[in-house]
Structure 1
Amino acid sequence: DHPLSPYLRNWRYPEFGELEASDGQTLYYKMTKPSDFDAEKKYPVLVYVYGGPGAQRVTKSWGSEFVQYMAQQGFIVFTLDNRGSANRGKSFEAPIYKNMGGPEIEDQVTGVEYLTNLPFVDAERIGIYGHSYGGYMSLLAMFKAPEHFKAGVAGAPVTDWRLYDTHYTERFMGMPDEGNAYENSSVFPYSKDLKGDLLIYHGMADDNVLFTHSTKLYKQLQDNAQSFEMMNYPGKKHSINGRNTKIHLYSMIAQFFQQTIGEQ
C-alpha cells in the first residue's frame, strides 16, 4: 500500500566515491545510474548541483525524486559536493571566501573529468542543473567551462552578489568596496563564452534571489546576440511552489535535457 510500491522495481540507489581537489582535500560524490544500465552503452550525464555554503548534497539519505526520474529516463545523474559545501569543516569551506564561483567550478570540472574517463559516459553529452546557488553554479559552468558542459538549466540563479542579501553575502564575500571580489564572482564577465544550450527560469515574485538577477542577465545575453531559453513564473517565489507549477517546471527541465543531450 506504500505510494512508492509501484515504482520500487525501477528505484536506483546511488554509488558513492571520492575524488581529490587541487589543494589535496577530499571531494565526495554520488552517481545514480539508469534503471536499465548497460556497461556496454554510453550514457548522457546530468550533473545535479547546489555547491554553496550551508548545504550538503552527497549524503546517504532519501534523495531527490527528480534524480530518480531522470535516471529512469536514461541519464546518469552525478552530484559532487565541491569546496565551500557544508559539514566538512572550516578548511573545506574557506577557499570560497571572497572567491565565490572559483573553487566550486574547479571542483565540478574535476568531477566531469572523472566522468569522461568512464567507458559508459558520453563525454559529448554532459549537462548541469541547479537551483538558487545551484543556478549560479550552472551559469558559471556553462560560461567558464563550456568545453565540458553542453547544456545547462539555471533555476532562480544569483548573477551578481551586489544584488543579493547582504546578511548572507558579506559573510563570504566581505564588503563590496574591498577589491574586485564581487565583480569577479558575478556571472557577467564570463557570459560571452557561452557555447552550449542554456535554459534559465525564475519566479517573478522571488523575494530571496530577486527576479532582477535573471532579467539583468537576459539583457546582457540579448545584447551579446547569444541564444538562450527562459521561463518565468508569474506570482511565484523562490521555491516555485504549487502542484501544477512543479509539474510544469520539472517536465520542462526533463524535456530540455532530452532534446539537448538525451538519446538522439
Structure 2
Amino acid sequence: VQSRNQQTLQLFGYDVATQLSTTLLTEHSNTWLNLHDDLHFLNQQDTFIWASERDGFKHLYLYRTNGELIRQLTSGDWVVTSIAAIDEDTGIIYINGRKDTPLESHVYAVDMQTSSVQRITELGKHHDVKFAKDASIYVDVFSDINTPAQTGLYFANGQFITWLDENKVSANHPLAPYASEWIAPEFGTIAAPDNTQLHYRLYKPANISGKHPVIVYHYGGPRAQVVTNKWGGNRGLMFQYWAQQGYVVFSIDNRGSYYRGKAFEDPIYKAMGSIEIEDQKLGVDYLRTLDFVDPAKIGVYGHSYGGYMSLMAMFKAPDYFAVGVSGAPVTEWRLYDTHYTERYMGSPNTDKAAYDAASVFPYANNLQGELLIYHGMADDNVLFTHATKLYKHLQDNAKLFHVMDYPGKKHSIRGKNTQIHMFKKITHHFDTYLK
C-alpha cells in the first residue's frame, strides 16, 4: 500500500483463516519511492525476496514471511533492475542489473547463501532476456550501439545453444550498403559541480575539418536513460544520418535520470526543469572546448519529457541553444498525469511555487532562437492542450515559432510515412536554421 504522497510503502500479509492483516515491512523516502514488482515468495521455505532502494541503490533482500529481515542479498553502488528468474534447487537468483556499467544491462547469477554475484552475459553488449519458468534456459536479445539486435537461446550459465535470429550484417543485410560510411560514436564522462560523473555519447562527422553545428538530443526525465551501449532503432539511425551530413550529435544523461542510484535521481524533486538544464549546459560547455564545434550553432531536440526539456533549454538558456525542436512537450505539470507528477513534484495544492517554477510559461518570453514544436493531436498521454496553451502564450507575446501538428496521432507519432515526415521535418528545421 502506497501513501498518497508516495513517500511511504507498506507490504501487508493477510491471514485468510483469521481475516487479519499484519505489516511485513515499511519503506520510506524523503523524496519519493520508485515502485517495482520484484516481490517473489519462495516455494520451498517460508521466505520471500524483496527489492528496496533503502541504501541508495535498488538491491535485493531476503525476508521471512513474518516480516523478519534475514539478510541483504546484493549490495554496492550499482542497481538491480529486476529479477529475471529464481532457481530454488540451486539457490540462484538471476537478475538484470548494471553492476559493470550503467550503460549496459546484464544478467547476473546471485547465490542466495553467499551473496556472490557473477555476470552471465557478454560484456560490451546490452542484454534483454526472458527466462524459462524453470530457469534452465533463456532467450537473449542483445545489441550494441553499432550492431542491431541479435536473438539467441542460452543455458542459464550463459552457454550458447542456438540462434533464433542471428541478424548478422552480411552482404544481403539492409544495413550492408551503409557499413562503409558508418560512424561509431564515442562515450565519455563529464564531472558535475558535485563531482558526479555524467555519461555522454558523441557522434563526430566523418570529415572533422572546420567547424560543425551540433544537435543535442536529450530526454532528461526520471526512469529513463539516453546514453546506452544499445542499438538505437529509428532515432539512432537518424543520429547516424545527421552525423554523415556534417552534424555533431551529442547526448548527456543529466542528474534526475535513471540507473545511477537514488541520490542521482533526487535533485529533480520539486524542481523539474532545473538541474536537468544545468547539466545539459555542462555538456554544451564541454562541446565548446572542441576544435570542430561551432559554438554559435548548437541545437537541441527531445520528445515528451525531452520536448519539455527542449522548451526549457530554449527559454532558460537562450545563450546556449540557438535552435530547438520540441516534440509532444509537457508545458504545465498541473495538466499531466497525477500519479506521475505528484511523485516528483508533490501536490499542486501544497507545492504551488514548485509547480509554477517547473512550468515553461514563466520563461517563454526569453525565446530568441528558432523553435519548432510538433504534437500529435490525439495524444492521450501529454494532451494536445499542452501545446495549444503554449501556442497562445507565445502568440500573445508576439514570439515567432514553428509548428507541425499531426491529426489523429498519439504520443509517439506512429505510422511509417508519418515518422518519415516527422524526421524530415526535424531535419529540415535544423538544416534551415542551424547549418
Partners of 1:44 and 1:10 in 2: how far apart?
20
SS in 1 for 2:250: strand
Residue 162 of structure 1, aligned match among 334, 345, 359: 334
Partners of 2:324 and 2:379 in 1: how far apart?
21
Q: Indicate the structure with greater helix content.
A: 1
Partner of 1:202: 375
Residue 398 of structure 2, aligned match among 203, 221, 225: 225
Q: CA deviation at 1:196?
A: 0.3
Q: CA deviation at 1:12?
A: 1.1
Partners of 1:60 and 1:238 in 2: how far apart?
26
Most deviating of 19-28 and 164-173? 19-28
Q: Indicate the structure with greater strand content.
A: 2
Q: CA deviation at 1:24?
A: 2.1
Q: How many residues align?
A: 260
Partners of 1:10 and 1:196 in 2: how far apart?
32
Partners of 2:191 and 2:350 in 1: how far apart?
31
- For each residue in 1:175-233, what CA deviation from the matched residue of structure 2 results, as whole angstroms up to 9, or x when unmatched? 00223111100100000100000000000000000000000000000000000000100
Q: CA deviation at 1:117?
A: 1.2
Q: Structure 2-normalised TM-score? A: 0.59
- For each residue in 1:147-182, what CA deviation from the matched residue of structure 2 results, as whole angstroms up to 9, or x when unmatched? 010000000000000000011111111100223111
Partners of 2:229 and 2:173 in 1: how far apart?
21
Unmatched 5+ stretches in structure 1: none
1:111-190 to structure 2, matched below 5 A, reads 111-179=283-351, 180-190=353-363
Unmatched 5+ stretches in structure 2: 1-171
- For each residue in 1:106-134, what CA deviation from the matched residue of structure 2 results, as whole angstroms up to 9, or x when unmatched? 00000001101111100010000000000
Residue 199 of structure 2, aligned match among 21, 24, 28: 28
Partner of 2:56: none
Give structure 1 regions of 4+ aligned residues with deviation exceeding 3 angstroms: none
Partners of 1:229 and 1:178 in 2: how far apart?
36
Partner of 1:95: 267
Residue 58 of structure 1, aligned match among 224, 227, 244: 227
Partner of 1:37: 207
- For each residue in 1:18-47, what CA deviation from the matched residue of structure 2 results, as whole angstroms up to 9, or x when unmatched? 11112221111010111x222x31110000
SS in 1 for 2:347: coil
Partners of 2:314 and 2:194 in 1: how far apart?
24
Partners of 1:148 and 1:120 in 2: how far apart?
17
Indicate whether 1:46 and 2:218 are aligned: no
SS in 1 for 2:326: strand
Most deviating of 87-96 and 54-63? 54-63
Indicate whether 1:260 and 2:429 are aligned: no
Partner of 2:109: none
SS in 1 for 2:202: strand
Partners of 2:350 and 2:254 in 1: how far apart?
25
Residue 191 of structure 1, aligned match among 352, 364, 381: 364
Most deviating of 101-110 and 16-25? 16-25
Partners of 1:212 and 1:69 in 2: how far apart?
33
The AA in structure 2 aligned to 1:226 is K
- For each residue in 1:2-28, what CA deviation from the matched residue of structure 2 results, as whole angstroms up to 9, or x when unmatched? 111111112111101111112221111
Partners of 2:231 and 2:415 in 1: how far apart?
22
SS in 1 for 2:400: coil
SS in 1 for 2:266: helix
Residue 256 of structure 2, aligned match among 84, 104, 118: 84
Q: Structure 1-normalised TM-score? A: 0.97
Q: Which has the larger radius of gyration?
A: 2
The AA in structure 2 aligned to 1:261 is L
Q: CA RMSD in A?
A: 0.8
Residue 14 of structure 1, aligned match among 182, 185, 188: 185
Residue 409 of structure 2, aligned match among 236, 257, 260: 236
SS in 2 for 1:146: coil
SS in 2 for 1:198: strand
- For each residue in 1:87-124, what CA deviation from the matched residue of structure 2 results, as whole angstroms up to 9, or x when unmatched? 00000000000000000000000000110111110001
The AA in structure 1 aligned to 2:194 is D
The AA in structure 1 aligned to 2:248 is I
Partners of 1:186 and 1:12 in 2: how far apart?
38
Partners of 1:177 and 1:65 in 2: how far apart?
44
